[in-house]
Homo-oligomer: A and B are copies of this chain.
Amino acid sequence: MSSNMPRKAGRHFLQIPGPTPIPDRVLRAMDNQVLDHRGPTFQKLASRVLDKVKTVFKTKSHVIIFPASGTGAWEAALVNTMNPGDKLLMFETGQFATLWHNMAKRLGMVVDFIPSDWRVGVDPQKIEEKLREDKNHEIKAVCVVHHETSGGLLSDVAAIRKVIDACNHPALLFVDSVSGLGSADLRHDEWGIDVTVAGSQKGLMLPPGLAFNAISAKAIKASETAKQPKGYWAWDEMINANKSGFFPYTPATQILYGLDVAIDLLHEEGLDNVFARHNRWGVATRAAVKHWGLENLCRDERFVSPVMTAVLMPDGKGADEFRKIVLDTFDMSLGAGLNKVADKVFRIGHLGDTNDLTIMGALAGVEMGLEVAGIKHNKGGVQVAMASIAAAHQQGHHARVAAE
Contact = CB atoms under 8 A, between A and B. Distances in A.
Interface of A: 1, 6-11, 13, 21, 23, 25, 31, 265, 268-269, 274, 277, 325, 328-332, 353-362, 364-365, 367-368, 371-373, 379-380, 382-383, 386-387, 389-390, 393-394, 396-397
Contacts of A373: 397
B372 A382 contact: no
A378 to B, nearest CB: 12
Contact of A10 (B10, B355, B372, B390): B355
A355 B380 contact: no
Contacts of A372: 390, 393-394, 397
Contacts of A359: 361
Given A277-B9, A358-B10, A393 B329 contact: yes
11 contacts: A9-B277, A9-B353, A10-B353, A11-B355, A328-B397, A331-B357, A357-B362, A360-B365, A371-B387, A371-B394, A372-B390
A362 B357 CA distance: 6
Contacts of A389: 368
Contacts of A13: 357
A396 B373 CA distance: 12
A31 B357 CA distance: 29
A404 B344 CA distance: 25
Contact of A383 (B9, B382, B390): B382
A122 to B, nearest CB: 29
Contacts of A380: 383
B361 A364 contact: yes
A153 to B, nearest CB: 24
A358 B21 CA distance: 15
Contact of A1 (B9, B25, B277, B394): B25
A7 B382 CA distance: 26
Contacts of A371: 386-387, 390, 394
Nearest to A368: B390
A9 B355 contact: yes
A295 B23 CA distance: 37
Contacts of A9: 23, 269, 274, 277, 353-355
A360 to B, nearest CB: 4
Query: Which 3 A/B pairs are nearest by Cβ-Cβ distance?
Result: A10-B355, A361-B361, A7-B268
Contact of A8 (B21, B332, B355): B355
A126 to B, nearest CB: 36
A261 B362 CA distance: 28
A18 to B, nearest CB: 15
A152 to B, nearest CB: 20
Given A265-B7, A368-B393, A331 B360 contact: no
A332 B386 CA distance: 15
Contact of A358 (B265, B361, B383, B394): B361
A303 to B, nearest CB: 25
A331 B396 CA distance: 15
A364 B386 contact: yes
Given A330-B357, A382-B383, A397-B329, A269 B364 contact: no
A332 B357 CA distance: 8
Contacts of A355: 8-11, 330-331
B354 A365 contact: no
A23 B140 CA distance: 52
A389 B379 CA distance: 14
Given A9-B277, A371-B387, A372-B393, 4 more contacts: A7-B268, A360-B382, A361-B364, A371-B386
A191 B362 CA distance: 41
Q: Which of A6, A265, A268, A329 has the most CB of B within 10 A?
A: A329
